[in-house]
Amino acid sequence: MHPAPRVLRRAVAAASMALLATAAGCAPQPDDDANTKASGSTGTSCAQGKLATKTSGKLTIATDEPAYEPWFKDDKPANGKGFESAVAYAVAKRLGYAKSAVVWQSVPFNKAFAPGEKTFDFDINQVSISAERKKAVDFSSGYYDVRQAVVALKGSKAAKATGIADLKGLKLGAQVGTTSLNYIQDVVKPTQEAAAYAKNDQAKSALENKQVDAIVVDLPTAFYITAAEVTDGTIVGQFENQGGTPEQFGLVLDKGSALTSCVTGAVDALRKDGTLAKLEQEWLSDAVDAPVLK
Protein backbone atom coordinates (compact mmCIF):
# COMPACT_ATOMS: atom_id res chain seq x y z
CA MET A 1 0.00 0.00 0.00
CA HIS A 2 1.02 3.33 0.05
CA PRO A 3 1.96 3.30 3.63
CA ALA A 4 1.82 5.40 6.45
CA PRO A 5 2.97 7.62 5.43
CA ARG A 6 4.04 8.19 1.87
CA VAL A 7 3.96 7.64 -4.37
CA LEU A 8 8.99 9.39 -21.33
CA ARG A 9 10.08 8.66 -23.56
CA ARG A 10 10.72 11.07 -26.49
CA ALA A 11 11.97 8.83 -29.25
CA VAL A 12 13.14 5.26 -29.62
CA ALA A 13 15.12 3.78 -32.47
CA ALA A 14 12.97 2.05 -35.04
CA ALA A 15 14.80 -1.22 -34.55
CA SER A 16 13.93 -1.20 -30.86
CA MET A 17 10.32 -0.28 -31.49
CA ALA A 18 9.88 -3.38 -33.60
CA LEU A 19 10.62 -5.50 -30.57
CA LEU A 20 8.15 -3.91 -28.16
CA ALA A 21 5.33 -6.02 -26.74
CA THR A 22 2.61 -5.16 -24.29
CA ALA A 23 0.90 -7.14 -21.61
CA ALA A 24 -2.80 -7.20 -20.88
CA GLY A 25 -4.92 -8.62 -18.11
CA CYS A 26 -8.40 -8.66 -16.67
CA ALA A 27 -8.20 -9.37 -12.95
CA PRO A 28 -7.41 -6.91 -10.15
CA GLN A 29 -5.18 -9.27 -8.19
CA PRO A 30 -1.47 -10.01 -8.80
CA ASP A 31 -0.71 -12.27 -11.77
CA ASP A 32 0.23 -15.90 -11.21
CA ASP A 33 3.52 -15.22 -12.98
CA ALA A 34 4.23 -11.93 -11.25
CA ASN A 35 7.32 -13.44 -9.64
CA THR A 36 9.10 -13.99 -12.90
CA LYS A 37 7.54 -11.90 -15.64
CA ALA A 38 6.97 -8.23 -16.31
CA SER A 39 4.76 -6.49 -18.82
CA GLY A 40 6.08 -4.40 -21.67
CA SER A 41 8.94 -4.50 -24.11
CA THR A 42 11.45 -7.27 -24.57
CA GLY A 43 14.73 -7.37 -26.38
CA THR A 44 15.43 -3.65 -26.13
CA SER A 45 19.06 -2.57 -26.19
CA CYS A 46 20.14 -1.68 -22.66
CA ALA A 47 23.31 0.28 -23.35
CA GLN A 48 24.70 1.53 -20.05
CA GLY A 49 23.67 5.13 -19.42
CA LYS A 50 22.33 5.50 -22.97
CA LEU A 51 18.72 4.40 -22.67
CA ALA A 52 15.86 6.23 -24.38
CA THR A 53 14.99 8.10 -21.20
CA LYS A 54 12.77 11.14 -20.84
CA THR A 55 15.83 13.36 -20.65
CA SER A 56 18.96 12.21 -22.45
CA GLY A 57 21.67 11.16 -20.01
CA LYS A 58 19.30 11.39 -17.05
CA LEU A 59 17.03 8.90 -15.32
CA THR A 60 13.77 10.41 -14.02
CA ILE A 61 12.29 8.51 -11.08
CA ALA A 62 8.95 9.37 -9.51
CA THR A 63 7.31 8.78 -6.15
CA ASP A 64 4.52 10.32 -4.09
CA GLU A 65 4.80 13.29 -1.74
CA PRO A 66 5.19 12.97 1.16
CA ALA A 67 7.55 10.00 0.82
CA TYR A 68 6.85 7.77 3.79
CA GLU A 69 9.14 5.70 5.99
CA PRO A 70 10.39 3.00 5.99
CA TRP A 71 10.36 3.28 2.20
CA PHE A 72 12.08 6.67 2.27
CA LYS A 73 13.82 8.63 4.99
CA ASP A 74 13.06 12.19 6.13
CA ASP A 75 10.68 12.67 3.17
CA LYS A 76 13.73 13.03 0.89
CA PRO A 77 13.76 10.42 -1.91
CA ALA A 78 17.06 11.77 -3.25
CA ASN A 79 19.08 10.96 -0.13
CA GLY A 80 19.36 7.25 -0.91
CA LYS A 81 17.97 6.31 2.49
CA GLY A 82 14.96 4.06 3.02
CA PHE A 83 14.23 0.83 1.17
CA GLU A 84 12.70 2.23 -2.01
CA SER A 85 15.18 5.09 -2.36
CA ALA A 86 18.01 2.58 -2.02
CA VAL A 87 16.39 0.22 -4.53
CA ALA A 88 15.86 3.07 -6.99
CA TYR A 89 19.53 4.03 -6.91
CA ALA A 90 20.60 0.39 -7.16
CA VAL A 91 18.47 0.00 -10.29
CA ALA A 92 19.85 3.26 -11.68
CA LYS A 93 23.40 2.02 -11.13
CA ARG A 94 22.62 -1.23 -12.91
CA LEU A 95 21.31 0.78 -15.84
CA GLY A 96 24.50 2.85 -15.97
CA TYR A 97 23.28 6.04 -14.27
CA ALA A 98 25.23 7.56 -11.42
CA LYS A 99 23.41 9.12 -8.47
CA SER A 100 24.08 12.56 -9.93
CA ALA A 101 22.21 11.54 -13.11
CA VAL A 102 19.02 10.63 -11.24
CA VAL A 103 16.23 13.21 -11.20
CA TRP A 104 13.36 12.79 -8.74
CA GLN A 105 9.81 13.82 -9.53
CA SER A 106 6.68 14.00 -7.38
CA VAL A 107 3.70 12.03 -8.75
CA PRO A 108 0.56 11.15 -6.73
CA PHE A 109 0.10 7.45 -6.02
CA ASN A 110 -3.03 6.91 -8.12
CA LYS A 111 -1.69 8.95 -11.04
CA ALA A 112 1.39 6.76 -11.32
CA PHE A 113 -0.56 3.83 -12.77
CA ALA A 114 -3.44 5.73 -14.37
CA PRO A 115 -3.81 5.60 -18.19
CA GLY A 116 -1.82 8.12 -20.19
CA GLU A 117 1.77 9.03 -21.05
CA LYS A 118 4.07 9.35 -18.07
CA THR A 119 6.47 12.15 -17.28
CA PHE A 120 8.90 9.76 -15.57
CA ASP A 121 11.10 6.86 -16.65
CA PHE A 122 9.85 4.72 -13.79
CA ASP A 123 7.89 5.20 -10.59
CA ILE A 124 8.64 3.51 -7.26
CA ASN A 125 5.89 3.90 -4.69
CA GLN A 126 4.69 0.59 -3.20
CA VAL A 127 2.58 -0.10 -6.28
CA SER A 128 1.42 -3.71 -6.35
CA ILE A 129 1.62 -5.54 -9.66
CA SER A 130 -1.81 -6.54 -10.95
CA ALA A 131 -3.35 -7.50 -14.26
CA GLU A 132 -5.86 -4.68 -13.94
CA ARG A 133 -3.11 -2.07 -13.62
CA LYS A 134 -1.17 -3.68 -16.46
CA LYS A 135 -3.94 -2.56 -18.78
CA ALA A 136 -2.67 1.00 -18.38
CA VAL A 137 1.04 0.69 -17.52
CA ASP A 138 4.04 -1.63 -17.63
CA PHE A 139 5.65 -3.14 -14.55
CA SER A 140 9.12 -4.41 -13.88
CA SER A 141 9.44 -7.73 -12.13
CA GLY A 142 8.73 -7.53 -8.41
CA TYR A 143 11.32 -5.95 -6.12
CA TYR A 144 9.53 -6.73 -2.85
CA ASP A 145 7.11 -9.46 -1.68
CA VAL A 146 4.56 -7.88 0.63
CA ARG A 147 1.62 -8.75 2.84
CA GLN A 148 -1.17 -6.52 4.08
CA ALA A 149 -1.70 -5.96 7.80
CA VAL A 150 -4.32 -4.58 10.18
CA VAL A 151 -3.47 -1.81 12.66
CA ALA A 152 -5.75 -0.90 15.58
CA LEU A 153 -5.52 0.98 18.87
CA LYS A 154 -4.39 -1.00 21.90
CA GLY A 155 -7.23 -2.18 24.10
CA SER A 156 -9.85 -1.72 21.37
CA LYS A 157 -12.27 -4.36 20.14
CA ALA A 158 -10.37 -4.48 16.84
CA ALA A 159 -7.09 -5.16 18.65
CA LYS A 160 -8.57 -8.37 20.03
CA ALA A 161 -9.40 -9.80 16.60
CA THR A 162 -7.78 -13.16 15.88
CA GLY A 163 -9.35 -13.89 12.52
CA ILE A 164 -11.09 -12.32 9.53
CA ALA A 165 -14.53 -13.05 11.00
CA ASP A 166 -13.70 -10.76 13.93
CA LEU A 167 -13.12 -7.86 11.53
CA LYS A 168 -16.40 -8.09 9.61
CA GLY A 169 -18.45 -5.92 11.97
CA LEU A 170 -15.80 -3.20 12.29
CA LYS A 171 -15.33 0.12 10.51
CA LEU A 172 -12.11 -0.31 8.51
CA GLY A 173 -10.13 2.20 6.48
CA ALA A 174 -7.33 2.32 3.92
CA GLN A 175 -5.84 4.53 1.26
CA VAL A 176 -7.85 4.73 -1.94
CA GLY A 177 -6.58 2.82 -4.97
CA THR A 178 -4.48 0.41 -2.93
CA THR A 179 -4.48 -3.35 -2.48
CA SER A 180 -5.00 -2.59 1.21
CA LEU A 181 -8.47 -1.29 0.37
CA ASN A 182 -8.98 -4.30 -1.92
CA TYR A 183 -8.25 -6.64 0.97
CA ILE A 184 -10.91 -4.95 3.07
CA GLN A 185 -13.51 -5.15 0.32
CA ASP A 186 -12.64 -8.56 -1.15
CA VAL A 187 -11.24 -10.55 1.78
CA VAL A 188 -12.82 -9.12 4.94
CA LYS A 189 -16.08 -8.06 3.25
CA PRO A 190 -17.16 -5.98 6.25
CA THR A 191 -20.79 -5.20 7.03
CA GLN A 192 -19.92 -1.49 7.08
CA GLU A 193 -18.61 0.31 4.03
CA ALA A 194 -14.85 0.81 4.19
CA ALA A 195 -13.50 4.34 4.59
CA ALA A 196 -11.18 5.34 1.73
CA TYR A 197 -8.59 8.08 2.22
CA ALA A 198 -6.51 10.02 -0.28
CA LYS A 199 -3.39 9.63 1.86
CA ASN A 200 -2.21 7.22 4.54
CA ASP A 201 -1.74 10.20 6.84
CA GLN A 202 -5.49 10.71 6.73
CA ALA A 203 -6.14 7.05 7.47
CA LYS A 204 -3.81 7.22 10.48
CA SER A 205 -5.51 10.35 11.77
CA ALA A 206 -8.90 8.66 11.43
CA LEU A 207 -7.61 5.75 13.50
CA GLU A 208 -6.18 8.02 16.18
CA ASN A 209 -9.45 9.99 16.32
CA LYS A 210 -11.42 6.72 16.52
CA GLN A 211 -13.32 7.48 13.32
CA VAL A 212 -12.41 3.95 12.20
CA ASP A 213 -11.76 0.86 14.27
CA ALA A 214 -8.70 -0.23 12.29
CA ILE A 215 -6.77 0.50 9.12
CA VAL A 216 -5.08 -1.78 6.61
CA VAL A 217 -1.58 -1.04 5.30
CA ASP A 218 1.36 -3.09 4.09
CA LEU A 219 3.24 -4.91 6.83
CA PRO A 220 6.45 -2.81 6.91
CA THR A 221 4.34 0.33 7.10
CA ALA A 222 2.31 -1.21 9.92
CA PHE A 223 5.48 -1.79 11.93
CA TYR A 224 6.62 1.77 11.35
CA ILE A 225 3.22 3.27 12.25
CA THR A 226 3.01 1.40 15.54
CA ALA A 227 6.64 2.07 16.43
CA ALA A 228 7.00 5.73 15.54
CA GLU A 229 3.69 7.39 14.75
CA VAL A 230 0.66 5.93 16.50
CA THR A 231 2.28 5.06 19.80
CA ASP A 232 -0.86 3.38 21.17
CA GLY A 233 -1.28 1.42 17.96
CA THR A 234 -0.79 -2.31 17.60
CA ILE A 235 -0.54 -4.75 14.72
CA VAL A 236 -3.57 -7.02 14.91
CA GLY A 237 -2.23 -9.39 12.27
CA GLN A 238 -1.45 -9.92 8.61
CA PHE A 239 -3.45 -11.45 5.78
CA GLU A 240 -2.42 -14.52 3.86
CA ASN A 241 -1.57 -14.05 0.19
CA GLN A 242 -4.61 -14.51 -1.99
CA GLY A 243 -4.62 -17.13 -4.73
CA GLY A 244 -1.31 -18.64 -3.63
CA THR A 245 0.67 -15.91 -5.38
CA PRO A 246 2.75 -13.38 -3.42
CA GLU A 247 1.71 -9.77 -3.79
CA GLN A 248 4.69 -7.87 -5.16
CA PHE A 249 5.63 -4.24 -5.58
CA GLY A 250 6.93 -3.39 -9.06
CA LEU A 251 8.43 -0.37 -10.75
CA VAL A 252 5.85 1.41 -12.93
CA LEU A 253 6.63 2.43 -16.52
CA ASP A 254 4.78 3.76 -19.55
CA LYS A 255 2.62 1.21 -21.33
CA GLY A 256 4.84 -0.37 -23.99
CA SER A 257 7.92 1.40 -22.68
CA ALA A 258 11.23 0.67 -24.38
CA LEU A 259 12.77 0.62 -20.89
CA THR A 260 10.64 -2.12 -19.35
CA SER A 261 12.89 -5.05 -20.23
CA CYS A 262 16.01 -3.11 -19.19
CA VAL A 263 14.52 -2.12 -15.83
CA THR A 264 13.24 -5.66 -15.28
CA GLY A 265 16.69 -7.01 -16.07
CA ALA A 266 18.18 -4.67 -13.48
CA VAL A 267 15.66 -5.73 -10.81
CA ASP A 268 16.22 -9.42 -11.59
CA ALA A 269 19.99 -8.97 -11.31
CA LEU A 270 19.62 -7.21 -7.95
CA ARG A 271 17.48 -10.06 -6.67
CA LYS A 272 19.90 -12.70 -7.98
CA ASP A 273 23.04 -11.13 -6.48
CA GLY A 274 21.40 -10.61 -3.09
CA THR A 275 21.22 -6.82 -3.22
CA LEU A 276 17.45 -6.68 -2.71
CA ALA A 277 17.66 -9.03 0.27
CA LYS A 278 20.46 -6.94 1.76
CA LEU A 279 18.52 -3.70 1.35
CA GLU A 280 15.41 -5.32 2.80
CA GLN A 281 17.39 -6.42 5.83
CA GLU A 282 18.89 -2.95 6.22
CA TRP A 283 15.71 -0.92 5.93
CA LEU A 284 12.81 -3.26 6.67
CA SER A 285 14.31 -5.57 9.29
CA ASP A 286 11.79 -4.47 11.94
CA ALA A 287 8.96 -5.89 9.83
CA VAL A 288 9.74 -9.43 10.82
CA ASP A 289 6.45 -11.13 11.56
CA ALA A 290 2.87 -10.76 12.74
CA PRO A 291 0.02 -13.20 13.47
CA VAL A 292 -1.79 -14.46 10.36
CA LEU A 293 -5.48 -13.64 10.18
CA LYS A 294 -7.52 -16.49 8.74
Nearest to 148 by CA among 201, 109, 185, 190: 185
pLDDT one-digit tens code per residue, 72-126: 999 999 999 999 999 999 999 999 999 999 999 999 999 999 999 999 999 999 9
pLDDT higher than 50, residue 3? no
**DSSP per-residue string spanning 258-269:** TTHHHHHHHHHH
pLDDT higher than 90, residue 289? no
Cross-sheet strand order for the sheet of 195-197: 195-197, 172-175, 214-218, 148-153, 233-239, 292-293
Q: How far apart are CA 234 and CA 291, in angstroms?
A: 12
> What DSSP state is assigned to residue 273?
T
- pTM for this entry: 0.80
**Beta 148-153 vs 59-63: how paired, if at all?**
unpaired
* Amino acid (1-letter code) at residue 194: A
* More confident call, 42 vs 204: 204
Angle CA 208–111–260, to nearest 5: 120
Q: How far apart are CA 159 and CA 139, in angstroms?
A: 36
CA distances from 158 to 18, 26, 163 (A): 54, 34, 10
pLDDT one-digit tens code per residue, 199-251: 999 999 999 999 999 999 999 999 999 999 998 999 999 998 877 678 999 99
**What is residue 19's predicted lDDT score, i.e. its pLDDT?**
31
CA distance between the termini of the chain: 20
pLDDT one-digit tens code per residue, 159-191: 999 999 999 999 999 999 999 999 999 999 999
Strands (E) across the chain are located at 59-63, 102-106, 122-123, 137-146, 148-153, 172-175, 195-197, 214-218, 233-239, 247-254, 292-293
Where does the pLDDT of residue 25 fall: very low under 50, low under 70, confident under 90, or very high at 90 and above? Answer: very low
Asked if residues 164 and 188 have their Cβ atoms less than 8 Å apart, the reply is yes
